[in-house]
Amino acid sequence: MRAPQTFEEVDVFFPDTLDAALIAQADPNRRGRVLAGGTDLMVQWEAGVVPLPPRVISIKHLPVLRQIEENPGMLIIGAGVTHKQLRASPLVRQYLPSLAEAAATIGGEQIQVMGTIGGSVANASPAGDLAPSLMVAEGDVVLASVRGERRVPVTACWTGYRQIDCAPDELIVRFELTKMPAGYCEGWRKLGPRQAQAISKIMGSFRGQLTDGIITDFKVAVGSVAPTCIRLYELEQWLVGKPCDAATCNEAETRARAGVHPIDDIRSTAAYRQWVTGRMIRSFLQTLEVK
């Protein structure tokens, strides 16, 4: 089938229910490119940087995807929840504070009303601002298809540059994320050319616990330094059991720099990103010490 040349040749489907969407996605001849908030896809199509899909299935209006709920250990966030909802939700602010902070730095206010968590994850950009906070929270991405539901750990959902572990007939329906336990703290840092409407040169989140001056748990994820957002597992292991002091900060900064292998691209250089990764770890450890 010839690829559409203009938007006028694209067929669009607005399913009334999630089931209708899943049934369409199950059929290779009816399956469409999934459109949620449109903040990535509409721009890519408009700019002509990706080929137009023959069919588009628009799911943003489905209310079933827009809930935020909790159970004792987890926060359950629908895939259609917008960045604005994330930053405003008391549940997210309490239990996934770095996710709320990250959502508040995406685009400008108008973009935050449009863009969704599911769309951001599915877009799988290494510069996706929600990724680091999801990676340190841990939990599952829940995918649905007519075959049933499938869970993928959020730390393993991105399989390569702009690749996500999601079969062609599956839709991301929700995220089940581990709440930040009492006595822990989280932090978020983003570096871009300006404060708003900027794509990150580098960004990261941490979740950690300090007990009597000793780091008892530490998770850190950094984006825009690799084909996907990455956890710095080796550094995390090294940090646990160390005192949160100047010597640890210095050593952690060096180790963090050595642990990432970013590239030069339109937004920044490898050298700068490597250097900032180190500074970011230092800043996270200082946050942990203060909080």
Partner 1 sequence: MTAPGRDPVPAPAAKSAQFSSTRRQFLRGLGLVGAASVCPPLTTAATANPANAKPSHPDLEEYGRDPQPVILQINGQTHTVSVAPRDTLLDVLRHQLNLTGTKSICEHGACGGCSVLWDGRAVPTCLCLAREAAGHEILTVEGIADDPRFAPLIEAFCAHDAAQCGFCIPGFVVRAAELFLQGERMSTEEVQIALSGNLCRCGTHAKIVTAVTAALSAGAIA
Residue 272 to residue 96: CA distance in whole angstroms: 29
Stretch in the footprint of partner 1 (CB under 8 A) among 6-14, 140-148, 172-180, 217-225: 6-14
Nearer residue to partner 1 within complex by CB, 7 or 233: 7
Q: Does 14 contact partner 1 by CB under 8 A? A: yes
* Structure-block tokens of residue 105: 């730095």
Does 37 sit near partner 1 (CB under 8 A)?
A: yes
**46 contacts partner 1 (rule: CB under 8 A):** yes
The residue range among 34-42, 122-130, 147-155, 212-220 that interacts with partner 1, by the rule CB under 8 A, is 34-42
Which of 2, 16, 182, 266 lies at the binding interface for partner 1 (CB under 8 A)? 16
Size of the site for partner 1 (CB under 8 A): 38
**Least distance from partner 1 to the Cβ atom of residue 107, Å:** 7
Q: Are 269 and 196 in contact (CB under 8 A)?
A: no
Binding of partner 1 by 196 (CB under 8 A): yes
Q: How many CB atoms lie within 10 A of CB 145?
A: 18
Residue 79: beta bridge partners?
none
Query: H or E element: which one contains 172?
Result: strand 171-178
**Helix, strand, coil % in the chain, rounded to nearest 5:** 35, 25, 35
Q: Which of 1, 2, 8, 71 contacts partner 1 by CB under 8 A?
A: 8
Q: Is the Cβ–Cβ distance between 184 and 207 less than 8 Å?
A: yes
Say which residues have a Cβ less than 8 Å from residue 129's Cβ, sequence separation at least 6. 102, 103, 105, 106, 120, 190, 200, 203, 223
Query: Which amino acid, one-letter code, is at 131?
Result: A
| Residue 197 near partner 1 by CB under 8 A | yes
Q: Binding to partner 1 by residue 60, rule CB under 8 A?
A: yes
Instruction: Give the phi and the psi of residue 106 in degrees, each rounded to 5.
Output: -80, 130
Distance CA 263, CA 122 (A): 23
Name the segment binding partner 1 (CB under 8 A); options: 13-21, 177-185, 224-232, 247-255: 13-21
Candidate list 56, 75, 99, 117; residue touching partner 1; CB under 8 A: 56
Residue selected from 91, 113, 226, 270 as contacting partner 1 according to rule CB under 8 A? 113
Strand stretches in 2-157, DSSP E:
11-13, 33-35, 55-58, 68-70, 74-78, 139-145, 148-153
Q: By CB under 8 A, tell whether 168 contacts partner 1.
A: no
Is residue 91 at the binding interface for partner 1, with CB under 8 A as the rule? no
Q: How far is the CB of 66 from partner 1 (least distance, A)?
A: 9
- For 42, the token pair is 């509409």
**Residue of 3, 11, 213, 291 that binds partner 1 (CB under 8 A):** 11
Answer for which of 22, 25, 32, 222 binds partner 1 (CB under 8 A) is: 32
With binding defined as CB under 8 A, does residue 195 bind partner 1?
Answer: yes
Nearest C-alpha neighbor of 281 from the set 227, 237, 228, 236 = 236
Of 128, 165, 132, 131, give the one whose Cα is nearest residue 150: 165
Tokens of 252: 């952690």
Positions that interact with partner 1 (CB under 8 A): 7-14, 16, 20, 24, 30, 32, 35, 37-39, 42-43, 46-47, 55-56, 58, 60-61, 84, 107-114, 195-197
